[in-house]
Amino acid sequence: MKLIILEHYSQASEWAAKYIRNRIIQFNPGPEKYFTLGLPTGLPRDHPESYHSFMWNNFFKHIDIHPENAHILDGNAVDLQAECDAFEEKIKAAGGIELFVGGIGPDGHIAFNEPGSSLVSRTRVKTLAMDTILANARFFDGELTKVPTMALTVGVGTVMDAREVMILITGAHKAFALYKAIEEGVNHMWTVSAFQQHPRTVFVCDEDATLELKVKTVKYFKGLMLVHNKLVDPLYSIKEKETEKSQSSKKPYSD
Amino acid sequence: MRGEQGAAGARVLQFTNCRILRGGKLLREDLWVRGGRILDPEKLFFEERRVADERRDCGGRILAPGFIDVQINGGFGVDFSQATEDVGSGVALVARRILSHGVTSFCPTLVTSPPEVYHKVVPQIPVKSGGPHGAGVLGLHLEGPFISREKRGAHPEAHLRSFEADAFQDLLATYGPLDNVRIVTLAPELGRSHEVIRALTARGICVSLGHSVADLRAAEDAVWSGATFITHLFNAMLPFHHRDPGIVGLLTSDRLPAGRCIFYGMIADGTHTNPAALRIAHRAHPQGLVLVTDAIPALGLGNGRHTLGQQEVEVDGLTAYVAGERPDPLGPRSQPACQVAHDPPRACPLCSQGTKTLSGSIAPMDVCVRHFLQATGCSMESALEAASLHPAQLLGLEKSKGTLDFGADADFVVLDDSLHVQATYISGPVLAGCGDPAWCWRAVWEAPVCPAHPISVILPSSVSPWPWHTPMWQTRAVRLPEQLRGGWASGALLALRTATVGSDVRDWCSPTSGVIVLTFSPFEFWGGWLPSPLLTGAVLGTGGTRLALPLFSSLCCKAQLRKCLQVQRDRMVWAPPVGREQPGKNHLPGQGLA
């Protein structure tokens, strides 16, 4: 695990963005080679708060991704389980997830895998815990009745199959979940802790999220920042073919 | 008419690198257009899984909904109130020419005229969609003849009428069939006006109050009957009085029907209303302000006499008056009060000649928007909405016009940061002869860039012995063609505050004509001619504008000056009053910005 601790939310976001950028460039995707970015999904599409709108406004409209390469779970499908199974098939067909980017809930869940989810679960329909509904109420004008109670989500097992996982944790309200995920054992009550058994995990957090960690842990990982920052050094532009040769000299750091 | 052009198969255009006016804000977003309508890109992405067929880079400019002008009496020599045989071609000419002002839809206005004129003209101006041929006609605006005698302004007294006898039938007898009519301006204090207002509103015609001596009570009653608009606020109505605000009081009246927004037109050319009055109205009721030009046929032409309806008007500088005796050739002094209709006329040696009744404006719409922005200090979004969204709301068209929301008609203008129009887009039917069933779509008007005929700017202070420094306020420098420079190498001066250097400039820029300088002299109170061995200057101070025209008396004669002015009329710069000039960049010879 790499724990990246930065001062503020904006710095954490920037570090994560640069890391993703570097990973995409190193992977050198092409027409046949997909860089699969996994993200947690859920709500019905035509809702303004749906993930479709969220992903469009915050991601897709700013990049030149082809619409056919964007797959979002459709909460309006007739047969939800078949939709989930098809999603798993699509992941397999694309060659597996290269990098999974996700957040963490205050109850330590990854995607919508609430406490008690199996650590080997796959994409499925999940009932949301009260905590999650409360957390999401801010998107629905604070009205609890409007928040959906079910969501389609990738399973913990699905995420564990990804070749690399990056979790973003910011804010003091996530501090306890981070503590449970890192410093305690693997536990299905804190599903993020499953990533202790993943070969390549990166946790990016800000200072506030480390409030519950041991000082020793924080100091240790802060000391490693010098090395970790090399991961986000700018690489050449993917469009500069002449510098392709230099790719071999920049190997991704791994522990 | 605009129809569904096989929407699924039509080309998708994406305008990138721009700021669009949406939801009252300038957002850094892309504008997607398909089939003449604004498209929701999210649906395109997720449902149709398509990308844009064509991307256009807007260079960081502003995309605003096309301006809608609900009061324009004519322009470019065309008078809508003249009963000619071919009214349609006149309307088409104006529709085409106002595209360069950013207007994509307009309501041709007819002033008070005899019934024969209405019967002849009204059927010849149908509602029409815009397109490459010109701006769209939304319907006619009939201003008069049912207006007050005292406040008729420039409308001829002989043709005023009332509908006391037969109310709505009188109106029908005067105008003829009302199919093409969109707005009617009348005075609510006339007898039986409420019946007429109700009948007009029932037919979907917008009723406007104007040219009236009504008090606030009468105006409120008219609004209850269905009136929704005020024609050119402050002009041709009783002035605001603290015990009886008159029609002006409608802006803040609490006796209006709930939820009804009263709109009011304002001519923001610096002359018809003092900027302070403009600010008062804007601050009192910003959501109802509609920018109109009230342009007369002299729009786009130059100084001299022109016809407006049944009247003769005189254009002098940037204002138009009812023709009386010719005013003093030196022009009015710099005090703005002289130009405003007032009685009795102030004791001023220059003001007593000619009539001083204003007769409509010759400021184009984009000039009005810029002046409005500068005078009120409002946000750019407010200024743009006042020219686009509010007129659309007045006419009930806010779903399709005056907005860049998804599903609206794709009529928009591309503006630079100083709100100069760079290009105008109107969606229209597929161009005839275009084999591709998809849209062949390009801007219906674009600010021409003519690299072959650039014109250079040299500041007066850099060549003349004159000690004063003339700041150039946001001027753009352009370079003179090589072959024309020889004669005036000693200091040809030209400044155009415009982003467009086009064929008009080519027309007058000939070896025999001089070069015209528009600068902003802090010494406008000098007036008259400024003697100088090299420069002579004519200062025309009018309203909120100050123009000093230094020119070479040895090289340029007055006739050519007039000719040049005619062409550049709609490109005149609006200078801030003394003391508020902003320092611009000093352009030295040879340093053109093009």
Beta carbon pairs, A and B, within 8 Å: 28
- For residue range A180-191, list pLDDT tens digits in order: 999 999 999 999
Strands (E), A81-169: 99-103, 124-127, 150-153, 165-169
Provide φ and ψ at B198, rounded to 5°: -65, -40
Q: Identify whether A122 is part of a domain.
A: yes
Which CATH number does the domain housing residue A110 bear?
A: 3.40.50.1360
Residue A249 lies in a domain: no
Contact B24, B51 (CB under 8 A): no
Residue A11 lies in a domain: yes
B246 versus B133: the higher-pLDDT residue is: B246
pLDDT in tens, B57-95: 888 889 999 999 999 998 888 889 888 888 999 999 999
Q: For position B431, what pLDDT does the model report?
A: 32
Residue A243 domain-assigned (yes or no): no
Q: Average the pLDDT over each of B62-71, B257-266, B485-494 and give the range with the smallest value.
A: B485-494
Give the pair of three-digit tokens for residue B59: 């260079």
Contact A67 B48 (CB under 8 A): yes
ipTM over 0.90: no
So what's the pLDDT on residue B565?
A: 42
Q: Which two tokens stand for residue B273?
A: 């209303």
Pair B457, B408: CB distance under 8 Å: no
> Residue B225 — very low, low, confident or very high, per pLDDT cuts 50/70/90?
very high
pTM: 0.71
**Inter-chain contact B48–A70, Cβ cutoff 8 Å?**
no
- pLDDT above 90 for B388: yes
Give A64's contacts in chain B (Cβ within 8 Å).
51
Interface mutation target, options B30, B45, B47, chain A, most CBs of A under 10 Å: B45
Q: What is the pLDDT of residue B331?
A: 43
Which residue type is seen at B268? A
Least confident of A71-80, B340-349, B543-552: B543-552
Name the residue facing B49 among A45, A52, A68 (closest C-beta). A68
Structural Rg of chain A based on CA atoms: 18
Number of domains chain A is built from = 1
Chain B residues in contact with A66 (beta carbon < 8 A): 51
Which residues form the domain of A81?
A: 2-230
When pLDDT is cut at 50, 70 and 90, the band that residue A59 belongs to is confident
Residue A241, in any domain of the structure: no
Nearest CA in chain B to A48: B42
Q: A41 to chain B nearest CA, in Å?
A: 14
How far is Cα A208 from Cα A175, in angstroms, rounded to an integer?
Answer: 7
User: Distance (Å, rounded) from C-alpha A155 to C-alpha B435?
Assistant: 53
Instruction: Select the residue of B41, B46, B48 nearest A52 (Cβ to Cβ).
Output: B46
Classified as helix, coil or strand, B575 is coil
**Contact residues for A168 (Cβ-Cβ < 8 A; gap 6+):** A12, A13, A16, A101, A102, A103, A104, A204, A205
The interface residues of chain B toward chain A in range 76-95, judged by CB-CB distance below 8 A, are: none
Q: By mean pLDDT, which of B112-126, B283-297, B477-491 is the weakest? A: B477-491
Q: What is the nearest CA distance from A73 to chain B, expressed in angstroms?
A: 11
pLDDT greater than 50 at residue B532: no
Q: Which of B45-49, B259-263, B270-274, B558-562 has the weakest average pLDDT?
A: B558-562
**Span B207-223, mean pLDDT?**
94
Is A61 close to B50, i.e. CB distance below 8 A?
no
Mean pLDDT of B274-281: 91
Predicted confidence at residue A172, as pLDDT, reads 93
Q: What is the SS3 string spanning B165-212? A: CCCHHHHHHHHCCCCCEEEEEECCCCCCHHHHHHHHHHCCCEEEECCE
The whole-angstrom distance between A67's CA and the closest CA on chain B is 5
| Residue of B20 and B348 predicted with greater confidence | B20
Which residues of A have a CB under 8 Å from any CB of B?
Answer: 45, 52-53, 56-57, 60-61, 64, 66-68, 70, 72
State residue B530's pLDDT score.
32
Q: Contact B49/A52, CB-based, under 8 Å?
A: no
pLDDT, residue B284, reads 94
Instruction: Let me know if residue A240 belongs to a domain.
Output: no
Q: Is position A250 within any domain?
A: no
Q: Which residues of B touch A70 (CB under 8 A)?
A: 45-46
Residue A14 lies in a domain: yes
Active site (catalytic) residues of B: 294
Residue window 15-74, chain B: list those with CB within 8 Å of chain A: 29-30, 41-42, 44-46, 48-51
Closest residue of chain B to A71, computed from CA coordinates: B46
How close does chain A come to B10, measured CA to CA in Å?
18
Pairing mode of beta strands B12-22, B31-34: antiparallel
Residues 215-234 of B with CB under 8 A from A: none
Query: How confident is the model over A195-228, as pLDDT tens digits?
Result: 999 999 999 999 999 999 999 999 999 999 999 9
User: Taking CB atoms and an 8 Å cutoff, what residues of chain B touch A61?
Assistant: 29-30, 41-42, 45
DSSP-derived secondary structure letter, B256: S
pLDDT > 50? residue B427 = yes
Of B483, B413, B433, nearest to B455 (Cα)?
A: B483
CB contact under 8 A, A67 and B51: yes
